[in-house]
Amino acid sequence: MVKKSKEKKVKRASTRKSTSSKKTSYKPYIVFFMALIIISLLSVSAYMYFDVYQQNQKIKQKQQTTSDELMLKMKKMLEDEKNRLVALPALPPEIIAPKNELNVSKELQQNVVTPEVNTSNEVVKVEQDKEDNTKNHELSEARDYSLSLQEVNKSTTKKISEVTRKKYPPGTTPKLAIIIDDVSFAWQTKMMKEIPYKISPAFFPPTAGHPETVKLSHEFDFAMIHLPLEAKHYKRPEEDTLSITDSSEVMVRRIQRIKKWFPHISYYNNHTGGYFTSNYAAMDKLLAVFRNENLIFVDSRTAPDSKAPEIFRQHKMQLLSRDVFLDNSLNKADIKEQLRKAVQTAQKHGYAIAIGHPHKNTLEVLRDSKEMLGGLDLVYVKDL
């Protein structure tokens, strides 16, 4: 019995050792498997990290390339602009004279009674005091005209002046001349050149605020001078704005100075000028200067009672006068509607003059409206 008991104990111990050895034999495999998983994860992580790193490097390289290309384009544009300006005629020395030597303007006078005249009614839609957000622009001329029109309609002594229109033979293709006033800067002339038909730019005389107008005017086959005259409701006059109190001598000096700067330009239209053009004495003096200097005045008609029609009739001269303002509003739909009115006026009378300003919206509407102008002869003002 004792012997059997010992054998059983020995057998149990042997079984325990065998089981223990079996359990111990799996551990290396488990460790190897875990190590393999860890290595795989590290490898995948490393691969993903390097892949993302390479992608980032490619993006940075692409961005750098794009930036370099943009810089090259900008440098080329600047170089082209520099070459363009160098090719233009040099500025006359008078333009860089001290401001007090150039200034011939007087304080605006607001209390002069205007003599009465006659003409036909015209209604202008104007958005009062609206500003161009990018240029802080006041719609000066259209607003001046609109407010003056209200005053004339309420007055018992003032009348709207009547313009004698030029007559064209029946069957003549209707003509439309579009003037762009206030032209001062290169970006404006660049946009105007994108318009696929004839436009008449009217340049400001040079000042410290827009010194390159002489150079820019040489970029066009035909150009005009936008002559600042005293306004009635506009409070930010240009330098050297002619006033109704200026003498004939002052007007002569001013016009001769401008003529010296722009010897290639003979057509002038008025900037603002609602107060000046509605004053008979002032207009008579100015137009006498124009006749003596062999210059041609185009009435922007910023005053409904402008005296230009009366004076031109007295001298048996044909007056060119604005029919439509294109941008009383800077909304593109409104600009298109005004352009449509200009087309209708040209079709009715044989010709029309429309005036706009170098706002982005105005120039884009003109650029994209060639189809609307079908059947008309788009001409410079000199060709009317």
Confidence class for position 105, pLDDT limits 50, 70, 90: very low
Count the alpha carbons within 13 Å of 33 in the hemisphere toward its beta carbon: 5
- Give the residue-averaged pLDDT of 121-139: 43
Residue 115, pLDDT score: 33
| Strand ranges, E, within 140-266 | 175-183, 200-203, 224-229
Q: Cα-flanking dihedrals φ and ψ of residue 29, to 5°?
A: -70, -40
Per-domain boundaries in the chain: 12-87, 100-383
Nearest alpha carbon to residue 215 among 104, 82, 103: 82
pLDDT value, residue 69: 78
pTM across the whole model: 0.69
* N-term to C-term CA, the chain: 143
Q: Which is more confidently placed, 82 or 238?
A: 238
CA distance 245 to 103: 15
Q: Which residue bears the tokens 């490898």?
A: 43
| Position with higher pLDDT, 107 vs 301 | 301
Range picked from 14-18, 26-30, 146-150, 244-248 for highest mean pLDDT: 244-248
Nearest one of 204, 165, 203, 181 to 321, comparing CA atoms: 165
| Residue (of 135, 83, 87) closest to 363 by Cα position | 135
Whether 262 has a pLDDT exceeding 60, the answer reads: yes
Q: Taking each helix axis from N to C terminus, what angle separates 332-349 and 360-367, rounded to the nearest 10 degrees?
A: 50
Task: State the DSSP code for 94.
Answer: G
Whether residue 91 contacts residue 206, with contact meaning beta carbons closer than 8 Å, is answered with yes
pLDDT for res 136: 41
Q: Which two tokens stand for residue 214?
A: 């002489």
Residue 114 region by backbone torsions, left for phi larger than 0, else alpha for psi between -120 and 50, else beta? beta
Q: 353 - beta bridge partners?
A: 177
Where does the pLDDT of residue 20 fall: very low under 50, low under 70, confident under 90, or very high at 90 and above? Answer: low
Give burial (CB, 10 Å; 0-12/13-18/19+) of 340: middle
Size of the chain, expressed as the number of residues it contains: 384
The CATH architecture annotation of domain 100-383 reads: Alpha-Beta Barrel (3.20)
User: At 288, is the pLDDT very low, low, confident or very high (cuts 50, 70, 90)?
Assistant: very high
